[in-house]
Amino acid sequence: MKSIDIIEGIQNYVVNWAKIKKGENILIVADSLADELVVDLTATVARGQGAKVVVCWIEFNPLQTMGGGKIIDNALKGADKLLRFTFALSHDKGTVEACQEYGLRMYGVTNPTRDFLASEAARFPVELMIEIQRETVQRARKARNIHITDEKGTDFTAEGRPENWSSEIRPKDFKGDYKNWDMDLELTGNYPMTFPGSMTGLIPPENGNGTVVFDVFSGIGVCKTPLRLTCKDNYFTSIEGGEEAETLKRMWKGVPHANYLVEIMWGLHPKCRNILEQKPLPNEAERRAGNLHIGTGNRRLMSMRPFKEKSKTQYHLDGFIVNPTVTIGNDVLIDKGRLAVFDDPRIRDIAKKYGDPDKLLAKI
């Protein structure tokens, strides 16, 4: 696959999604698994916008909480925007600090391969994606009670404060609940805005109870035997399944609060592919319309209450459910993987600007 096949997707990422502008200081961080052509073309397009661009390469690390080390941590503080081609930077201390205290804004790519950047998802209209996200958040905010089910046995309930529902693009006038807890800081930067967008979620959920059956789990992969977890009062207290269950038990053993419920999110993008085998986690599939993931761990996010018990090991792991049904209050937002928002008249009118709404909003 050549440059001409992926340049439209890269331009959509740099120009329309990250909105790179003249004079901005742009840091591109890529790991050893990243595609050199993709990284080079991204830097070229950003420089073409008049930005000052620095490219850094780091070793691959599959954990979101590990970060890039002291050199990268300091570089992040001096950048206006981060273009991210690594999984290691997002939930780590250095990146979060750069966002909170130095105003860094970061923009990743859900699947930074030539294949993805040549796909329909990479060329999808950014305006339409933003409005799908905004509409979904507004619907989610109408009630506090969440009910998640699926055909494999998931039956899970939780509660969420309306102000804590958000997306990678904040709804208009979004403030969030950042200052509700002691020691919280309002973000001056942004939550990771991963191209091509397309997720909405709740951070943090409250009063989580019930059973979830995961198809995939980060750090483990696709589950040969369904991974069944039982949650009580926001803690996952039981793990059942095959070898995947034993692996997760070992990962959580001795790590305080690793089994804590920290987020509920689902995908909104009709053109993201359901590649569940993507490593280190199915980052593209989690954005596919109707796929849901539930985050666990002791890495504090957004307006979570600080844990009194500290741990040197910090986890953020996600379990994935394909084609769930999600009800908030009395409204069904997802029906066996089908998003109700795709039938919204306003969304369909926006889609008409770019083509046939039936085709644009059809899942691949």
| CA distances to 72, 132, 140, 223, 303 from 186, in Å | 23, 25, 22, 37, 9
Closest CA to 338 of 272, 286, 291: 291
- Of 93-102, 120-129, 238-247, least confident by mean pLDDT is 93-102
**Sequence-distant (≥ 6) Cβ neighbours of residue 190 within 8 angstroms:** 99, 105, 106, 170
**Sequence-distant (≥ 6) Cβ neighbours of residue 20 within 8 angstroms:** 14, 26, 45, 46, 49, 51, 81
Average pLDDT for residues 91-97, to the nearest whole number?
83
Q: Does the domain spanning 3-118 belong to CATH 3.40.1830.10? A: yes
Tokens standing for residue 150: 């699926």
- pLDDT tens-place string over residues 271-303: 999 999 887 778 899 999 999 999 998 866 544
For position 314, what pLDDT does the model report?
75
d(CA 209, CA 170): 28
- Cβ–Cβ < 8 Å for 216, 248: no
d(CA 19, CA 312): 37
Residues forming a β-bridge with 288: 269
Asked if the model's pLDDT at residue 120 lies above 90, the reply is: yes
d(CA 307, CA 164): 19
Tokens standing for residue 275: 């590649």
For position 360, what pLDDT does the model report?
97
- pLDDT tens-place string over residues 150-180: 999 999 999 998 888 887 655 444 444 333 3
Asked if the model's pLDDT at residue 58 lies above 80, the reply is: yes
For position 175, what pLDDT does the model report?
46
DSSP for 57-105 reads EE-----TTS-S-HHHHHHHHT-SEEEEE-SSSSSSHHHHHHHHHH--E
Average pLDDT for residues 255-268, to the nearest whole number?
93
For position 153, what pLDDT does the model report?
97
Domain spans, the chain: 3-118, 126-345
| CA distances to 16, 29, 35 from 250, in Å | 43, 31, 33
Tokens standing for residue 289: 């319309």
Predicted confidence band at 101 (pLDDT cuts at 50, 70, 90)?
Answer: confident
For position 173, what pLDDT does the model report?
46
